[in-house]
Amino acid sequence: MDQRPWQITGGTALLEGALRPADIALAAGTVAATPSPGARRIDARGLLVLPGLVDLHGDAHERGLQPRPGIGFPAAMAVRDTAAQLLASGITTAFLGVTLSWEPGLRSLESWRALMAALEAARPELALDLRVHLRFEADNLDALDDALSDIATGRVHLLGFNDHTPPILARMDDPKQVAKYAGRAGLSAEDFRALIGRVAARRDAVPEARARLAAAAAKAGLPMLSHDDATLADRAL
């Protein structure tokens, strides 16, 4: 990240509750009281000078990984493309909503590992703060140990509890929906139906896995989010 001193002049900023003309100095990546000697200047006349936005849940990076079923790009390329799009939108801190699912393909454990490695390699050169919002699918019991390890080692910054298995099961009689899910996973429709049947058969183990994730997140000091809750009882889980 560029840590050179800057001075943004002639712009309008929100100061003490009101929009006012202001010159803003930056040094070492933070707002400074006075401009540093030799600071680079930006003419912001006619512009608003605003802090960077924070995106808690964006999954547009999936388009970079898989723009269409059957077409994939390396995780390193997707990370850089996503970072450029975020910066162009004024977002300087982003929690990538990375789904870790029981599905193969785009949301698989292998894809998760590749994306984590790409993020770690790219971070020193990125001009924004890219963090990880782990969206853990409830039935992904096979990846539980990986998720727990990544939480413990600080690779995850936000934990979301997802449970898309019931709505996916409810759509298995719709050929178009089955084709969509199967295409994303890189499976035939028949194989996807068989897979979700095996996944659903292990539902009794989900509460314990969820409790272990919550305990690990609490120990690591991670905020936790839930997803698509229909009732307060669901949220309480």
Q: Report pLDDT digits (tens) over 172-208.
A: 999 999 999 999 999 999 999 999 999 999 999 999 9
Helix H or strand E segment including 106: none
Tell whether the model's pLDDT for residue 235 goes beyond 80.
Answer: no
Q: Report pLDDT digits (tens) over 107-156.
A: 999 999 999 999 999 999 999 999 999 999 999 999 999 999 999 999 99
Q: How far is CA 176 from the centre of its chain?
A: 27
Identify the three-state secondary structure at position 157. Answer: coil
Residues 70-87: what's their mean pLDDT?
94
The pTM score is 0.83
Rg (CA), the chain: 22
* pLDDT band at residue 69 using 50, 70 and 90 as cut-offs: confident
